[in-house]
Amino acid sequence: MQALVVDDSRVMRTILTRLLTDLNFDVVQAGDGAEALAALDAGARPDVALVDWNMPVMDGLTFIKKCRQNPDYRDVVLMMVTTESEHSNIVQALAAGAHEYVIKPFTDEVIAEKLEMLGLIAR
């Protein structure tokens, strides 16, 4: 299984990469939505992308919308991982095509549970 971690924070990318690696994912990282799209355009086909919302260059919501507009990327499961916790944000992300929504700070268990619910891991 491959995961794409999209976050402008190197610390958050490191935390998520460590967690996903422990769950047997190969992890690719991107610092913003544009970098993530470039990775997909270059041929990366992650099973899941964990996407921050507030980023420079291209925010996570725009990335999710662009990802959903391209049929080549329709199999990528999208999980928003963000500090944005308003109900309206959650609705917006899910309407744009996110499958799951995790609010920071999170525990490892929360991420693992979501991945299990999405059928990406079995525990």
Partner 1 sequence: MIDPAELAAAQPDLEMLLVEMIASVLGEQAEPTGERLPPAVGLAVSRLVIQDANDGSFLGIEVRAEGTLITTLAATLLGVAEPAPDDMLDVIAELGNIAGGNVKSLLCHNGQLSLPSAQLVFEQSGEAPDAIRAAAGLLGNVMELVVMPLPAADPQTRWPSGSAQHEAEVSSL
Residues that bind partner 1 (CB under 8 A): 8-12, 14-15, 18, 32-33, 53-59, 61-62, 82-86, 103-107
Q: CB-wise, 45 or 54, nearer to partner 1?
A: 54
The rounded distance, in Å, linking the Cα atoms of 104 and 97 is 20
Enter the DSSP assignment of 59: -
SS3 content of the chain, % helix, strand, coil (to 5): 45, 20, 35
* Minimum gap (Å) between residue 33 Cβ and partner 1: 8
Q: CB-wise, 47 or 49, nearer to partner 1?
A: 49
* Minimum gap (Å) between residue 11 Cβ and partner 1: 4
Q: CB-wise, 47 or 63, nearer to partner 1?
A: 63
Q: What DSSP string runs through 4-63? A: EEE-S-HHHHHHHHHHHHHTT-EEEEESSHHHHHHHHHTT---SEEEE-SS-SSS-HHHH
Q: CB-wise, 2 or 89, nearer to partner 1?
A: 89
Residue type, 117: M
* Minimum gap (Å) between residue 94 Cβ and partner 1: 17
* Minimum gap (Å) between residue 122 Cβ and partner 1: 25
